[in-house]
Structure 1
Amino acid sequence: MTFGSTAVGPSVGQRWRTARWVILALVAITAVSAATALLTGARPGARMDPRSTSPDGALALVSLLRDAGVEVIEADRLADVERNARPDTLVVFTETYLLVDDDALRRLSAIPGDRLVVEPVSRAREALADGLDVGPDTSFGGDPDCDLRAAERAGRTRLDTAVTYVAKGLEIKGADVTRCYGGAVARYTRDGRTVTAVGSGDFMLNADLAKEGNAALAMNLVGSRERVVWYTPTLVEGDSDASASITDLIPDWVTWVVAQLCLAVLLTALWRGRRVGPLVAEDLPVVVRASETVEGRGRLYRSRRARDRAADALRTGALNRLLPRLGMNATTAPSAVARAVADRIGGDPNAHGHRLFGPAPATDAELVTLAHQLDDIERQVSQS
């Protein structure tokens, strides 16, 4: 008896042992891809956000600080700053336009440690850097021109326009203010605390950090302590309804810009409002007799004592009627017209020229006499 051989396929267990390695490999590849995308992908955020990789973020500077051994604590709430700040800590204040509550500013001013205030608005500057006043804007860049070690070691920088700061004078006692880069960076020490104000934070951003000495200046200013609390509020701190209005969020220069625009609009309205535009020709609703028009125009000339205009009108009308009868036109010389009139009706050509082209009469009586003389000349020429 012969038995045929039977083929037996792989069991379920064998199939699972083979497939699980494929599944584990796919899971590992997916996890590595997700981690890579998370670590290297763009992380948007607010301006000066220490976690943002956007051009306006500050992750590059924070990464350099951590590589240099500086402990950087990211804080986006006031409570986080109060919890992590110590006397040996540097607190970096950014986006201060969100600090609208007086109580929040008082709490921040009471926090121990040094301060670096970046682009402070007026309320924040008065609370956190009360030894400084705002000066004129300047071009932030070039040599530091000061004896501040952090700026001297950084050397030349390259940035755009920045706010400058000056000392308040007698209001800041026991403090020696050091101004660098034309006042765009100012520092003073009082009560054992070092306060630094920067009129522009562009040199700390990811986009501008690599320009000239920007990175060195940022590292020297922020890395002056081994522990840094980087405070970038993402929401309005404090009760804005109780102690602040919308004007507290507007920079000081915006008020002057709006005032100038309002003045420009007012002047434009006054300028354009005085113009009545061109005259519009319209048909008269009734027919006015010529005698009435002449009489009305004569009264206007008389009321304004415009004897010169009246004489010019009389002579122009007379010449317009005489020249065609004499075979002449408007380009004919006055002397030739006077001789032609004399040849036609007789008389002295100079007398006729005086009547047709002479000066304006000095009195109303002379104007009436001139009208009669012109009428007489025109009548004689037409009858000759």
Structure 2
Amino acid sequence: MTVVEERDTPSATAEPTRRLRAVIGWVIIAALVVGVAWVGIQIAATAPSDRRSLDPEGRGDSGALALAEILRDQGVEVEVHRSRAEARAAIDDDTTLVMTNPYTLSDEAVAELMDPADRVVFLSVGAHLLDSLGLGDYSSAPLSEVDAQCSAGEFARVGTIEPDRLMTPAPGVEWCFGDDEGAAVLIDDADGRRTSIVDGTRLFSNAYLAENGNAALALALLGQTDRVVWYVPSLGDSDLEGTSEDTLGTLTPPWVTPAIILLMLSGIAAALWRGRRFGPLVAETLPVTVRASETMHGRARLTAKAADAPHAALAIRDGAQRRLARRLGLTARATPDEVADAASDRLRIPRGTLQSLLAGPLPADDAALVELARRLAELEDAVEQTHRPARAAGAPSAHSPSTTEAEDTRDR
């Protein structure tokens, strides 16, 4: 008996091929690692900066470097400050203070920053900012291309723009590029200071500054003085105090993360060290011989344990049918009906008598299984007795009716 097992069987011809495949595999892995590293370096080298939206030094699509350069080309001095203290110190009488929505500052810090400026322009909108400045609120009016439609002379040559968001002006606040229901620009001249606000997140970005009258609107808002102090709000310059919620990283000791990484690396190293490569499948003769009776008894015990009477009956019937076919001179492929007819002829009983025994329904319980096995054993004994020659001339067999029948049986 043979069995198939996995084992390494190096040979003189297979060993060089195996080594060549291993070398090629490691070369491919090294090439992939180098390729991934090169792509990562290229992405890191060409990745966009961490500048926020409408940052005057941002080169990405959402930055405002193009607007800052246009102002410089028009003779306007643009100073970029990321500290509100430095920005406040740089403001004089001929300066325009420009910033996006200062959500990182408190209302007091915003008021302190705006205090020395005569012109203030906010390039993005926030609900809290509109409310704190008393300029109005967000509008639900439909968006469409609009022109100035106001008395402000600096907007006379702007043309049309397509704003992203409109605002409803508060009483006493002048609006431009819209109507009383919603306008793109709000202007307030209270307290001797002109405060303008517009949602220019898209209008003044590098990607859309050249569309419609976006650039002209930006120059009309920011180019009215010789100097522009552009303050860029950031969390690092915030005066708001907040507490962050505890996370798993803050609650665990600092040595946990290095320990986890060390364990992962150790596991990978152990897998590479102890891992083995299996060779091809090899058929090998076992050193012992397993007798068929052991297999038969093992299957019988499994069938008995499962209480599968139909399966056991089918096995008993198949074995009896093969033995009967051999004793009756039939082929191994004889059908149950053919075996039943041949046995009926041999026993001199009507045909069709044994069909239910060899091809009928299988028993469903142990009692019926025992009865079926008993009847099949009796049938095999009867056929075997007819197949034996008479023990003595003129003496009929104990299981055959006459000598003539025995001779007929022998002739068959």
- TM-score with structure 1 setting the length: 0.45
**TM-score if structure 2 supplies the norm length?**
0.42
Report which of the two structures shows the higher radius of gyration computed on alpha carbons: 2
- By percentage of residues, which structure has more helix? 1
